[in-house]
Structure 1
Amino acid sequence: MKFEKVLTDDPIKEMWNRLDILSTISGAKKFLKERINEDSEISEEILEDKAKGIAFCIRSAREFFQTEIDHNMSTASISFYYGTFNFLSALLLADIENNYTLKDIEKFSSYGHGFKLFNNTDEEKILKRDNLIVNSNGFFYKFLKELNYDENLISMQGKYYSLEEVEEEEKYKIIDIKELISRIPELRNTFIEIFNEQPLYLNLNCRYNLTDQELFVKFPFDKNSPYLSDEDIYQILDWPNDIELSQKIETSRLKIITRDKINKNIIPDKKELHKSVLCYDCYIKPLLGIEDIFLIYFMFLYVLSIWTRYRPNLWREIVEGRFDIYRPLITKFLTSSERILPNIFLNKIYNRRFLFTGHSYLG
């Protein structure tokens, strides 16, 4: 992936300025033409329709993301969801390997956006009370399929109207809301203060000693959490039990040493790490095979959009009632969404990493 640095005192504004050329039909068409190879069979008509769709989606996304978060948490929750929906739509349209146009996006969405939110009224904890499932139709299902995810591993194959109806073999696909939040590294400090536990991601660095056939992996507490345990490491990295974990060697970190038949594949590749200006580089535990933080954000934004529109009693409790401890978490999530989602979209559509920062950051 290529790298592009953009110096700016206003990263959010500059991201949209950088995207602005794709919000024009001629700019989007030029972008598509530069990606067509000589073997492509895409017609001029489809190219034109794709360009119109991309330009429209980006203009719509920009409009939705203009919502101020302060004193507008409800409106921002809905607007950012639809802004991200437009980003995902633009990514589908920008793929020259398909012939999709806005008509197809409309068709996919006619079956819904691909989610269902179930409420378990017996559950006391609010973030365990609501559960999300991915349907086997709708926009999100189609998006996963186009990205070559194993949609059968993620989406419910049966039609269910309550959690009790879910077949035993599909229950692992039920996602509680805390599972989503715990995979968003930009929320680290707030998440840790509220829940007093290690989130489902890890900052790590490693060194391989060829002479002694040892692999040293360090997990700094200050970049993870003071609650980080051996069990957390095994769970997040999905390690087998035969990997030996040494004692803590300093108050600031843990060290892992494996000696026999060492396998460096137990450590995530650098390409698998989430990189963001709002958090430390880290490995996020996949959710039903989903590794893309962009999709995790989209899923939680869907939850917020449902709460704000259809769960007024619950939403009031979050805003000013007995669940108001979660309000700062949601505010931080929306603030993070505003900053990093346009950035991730730029990374994806141009296939390069964009860094928007001031001169002091580079210094």
Structure 2
Amino acid sequence: MADAGFEMRMRILHEAVDRHLIQPLRIHGWETCTAPASEEGEYIVVTAQKNGYSRSIAVLYTSAMENRHYRALDLSVDHIFTNGALNNVGSYAYGISTPVASIDQFPGTLIEWNKALAPTADSSIPPYRARAIRQITAESPLDAIWARLEQFASVRLAEKLIERRMAEGGVPRTPTPLSKKAEGLAFAIRNGADYFRSGTNESLSRRILSLYYGALALASADMLASPDGSANLDDVEGFTKFGHGLYTVPPITHDFGGLSVGVLASGFYPRWAAFLGHNISAYPTKKAKNQSDLHDLPTHTHASLGELLSAIPELGDLYLEVFDSAPSWVSPHYDVEANSTSVLFGRTERVGSTYVDLVDVSGRVSGSRLEAAGWPVAELTEIATESGGRSFRVRVDHDGHEYWDGALPLHRSAFLPSGTLILPVLAGASEYRTLALVVLYALSIVVRYLPSLWRRVEGGDWDHYLVLIRTAIGVFERVLPEEFLEAIIGERVLAHQR
């Protein structure tokens, strides 16, 4: 019969097993079965099962247990844990192959089991590298951002920037002088700044046109500033000889959001997309002339204006009032419940994976869209939420990055309380600046060549789109300069108002 001391020790052990093993396993969808405690060896065996995958764990009250018990468990369990630190464990756990660790290290084991069931997803997004952070604090953050952009309108500073980025990227200097590349970069930035500034205090239609051509110029600067980008301005101008690489198809329904935008294999946009790391092999060589023609093209090579606007997180509830369809963004947040931190001798053990909740405030985004987004996530599971909308838990594997957010293509802006993830809506691209450029292209076509449609937006039966469009333009005027500054200098920018 067990003595009172044994019962007390097993009560302590059961509490530790429940806290460190059972609860995390159940949170992650594992079913558990706990065997009665071994009176002689003073340990508990837990069996965990999920999707036909089974693992058994023994948890010892102390590591100072006779070797015969270790040898017996070596034949029957997959892992041995001890309740507390390992004290001279080599004197007891010898002659076995089963790993022995402190129970505090179970989170890492659980993640490895989860990875065996749901391997790291292949990411279709271009590889991301850690970047330096540039802090900007000013009375007017936008003016401060433009000051840092416009300094590279100096050929001397533009060349200095290119040299620095080549050194940081480990790109050797070529015999070809950098002066032409620097001259092109300086010109593109001056051109972009002029266009952005010329639209200030103008009508909405003129602001749209100015922003589009300004964004086009800064996209050119994006390529010219990169060591791997265009060699000079002539290269960039060569792209545009074949057009902008985009086209529009008017809607056949009574819906402004049904205006379609498609990509082409030639012109500026596909060259920029390829520079950003996107596969453009499926881009069509011919434009669709009407909505029927779009059915013959790969679906991902065209999108409606409504779908493009759905990928602008700053529009938020304004988008949801105008459209009944789902937005194309979610907000990722650290999942406190699903993450466990193991501490050994006062030091945090990093396991290279973190559980994150993808929050959709609209409740309209489906799990299948998130799975197809191409992000480096796995184990997508919808979880209950009390705040409305929908929430999906995912595992982010971030080897090579200290924190999970370094592995995801987060979009941040002054209009948002936290970072967002943008779902691809056109040709796999989810970079904010590419989507903004395409939206501006579509609106510029309407303003210039489809005045009958634009009149319906400005004061006709499509006027419910007007505030949405005006807001998008205001957002682009603030956010795009910061986005392009980050791309051009190769650093993350944090701009705050003093």
- Letter of the 1:132 partner, please give it: V
**Displacement of 1:197 after TM fit?**
5.2
Does structure 1 retain, via aligned residues, the 8 Å contact 2:165–2:226?
no
Aligned to 1:192: 320
Q: Percent identity?
A: 24
| 1:12-69 per-position Cα deviation (integer Å, ceiling 9, x unaligned) | 211111122201111112222333447321512xx11111111111111111111345
Match of 1:6 among 130, 136, 141: 136
**Displacement of 1:232 after TM fit?**
2.7
The answer to whether the aligner puts 1:335 opposite 2:478 as a matched pair is no
The alignment's C-alpha RMSD in Å is: 2.9
Greater relative CO (CA pairs within 8 A, separation 6+): 1
Does structure 2 retain, via aligned residues, the 8 Å contact 1:200–1:284?
yes
| 1:182-218 per-position Cα deviation (integer Å, ceiling 9, x unaligned) | 000111131122225541111132433459xxx8754
Match of 2:303 among 167, 175, 200: 175
Aligned to 1:96: 227
Where 1:156 maps in the other structure, the secondary structure is coil
The answer to whether the aligner puts 1:140 opposite 2:269 as a matched pair is yes
d(CA) in 2 for partners of 1:34, 1:327: 44
Aligned to 2:409: 272
| 1:95-144 per-position Cα deviation (integer Å, ceiling 9, x unaligned) | 223552111111110100101101233x122211x211101100111111
Aligned to 1:298: 437
Q: Please, which runs of 5 or more residues in structure 2 have no aligned partner?
A: 1-130, 342-353
TM-score norm. by structure 2 comes to 0.63
**Displacement of 1:320 after TM fit?**
1.1
| Mapping of residues 32-71 of structure 1, within 5 Å | 32-37=162-167, 39-44=172-177, 47-68=178-199, 70=201
- Letter of the 1:19 partner, please give it: L
TM-score norm. by structure 1 comes to 0.84
d(CA) in 1 for partners of 2:271, 2:390: 42
- Letter of the 2:247 partner, please give it: K
Where 2:366 maps in the other structure, the secondary structure is helix
* Number of corresponding residues: 341
d(CA) in 1 for partners of 2:369, 2:493: 32
Does structure 2 retain, via aligned residues, the 8 Å contact 1:237–1:285?
no
Higher deviation after alignment, 268-277 or 232-241: 232-241
| Mapping of residues 1-363 of structure 1, within 5 Å | 1-37=131-167, 39-44=172-177, 47-68=178-199, 70=201, 72-98=203-229, 100-121=231-252, 123-128=253-258, 130-153=259-282, 155-166=283-294, 168=296, 170-196=298-324, 198-207=326-335, 208-209=338-339, 218=357, 224-225=360-361, 227-229=362-364, 232-238=366-372, 244-246=381-383, 248-252=384-388, 254=390, 256=392, 264=396, 269-270=404-405, 271-279=408-416, 280-287=418-425, 288-359=427-498
d(CA) in 2 for partners of 1:253, 1:321: 33
**Displacement of 1:331 after TM fit?**
1.0
d(CA) in 2 for partners of 1:86, 1:250: 46
- Letter of the 2:312 partner, please give it: I
Q: Which has the higher helix share?
A: 1
**Displacement of 1:295 after TM fit?**
0.1
Does structure 1 retain, via aligned residues, the 8 Å contact 2:145–2:482?
yes
Change (3 A) 1:176 1:2: same
Aligned to 2:73: none
Aligned to 2:66: none
Q: Please, which runs of 5 or more residues in structure 1 have no aligned partner?
A: none
Q: 4+ residue stretches of structure 1 with deviation over 4 A? A: 68-71, 215-220, 239-244, 252-258, 263-266
Does structure 2 retain, via aligned residues, the 8 Å contact 1:202–1:236?
no
d(CA) in 2 for partners of 1:332, 1:151: 31
- Letter of the 2:298 partner, please give it: E
Does structure 2 retain, via aligned residues, the 8 Å contact 1:23–1:55?
yes
Does structure 1 retain, via aligned residues, the 8 Å contact 2:446–2:453?
yes
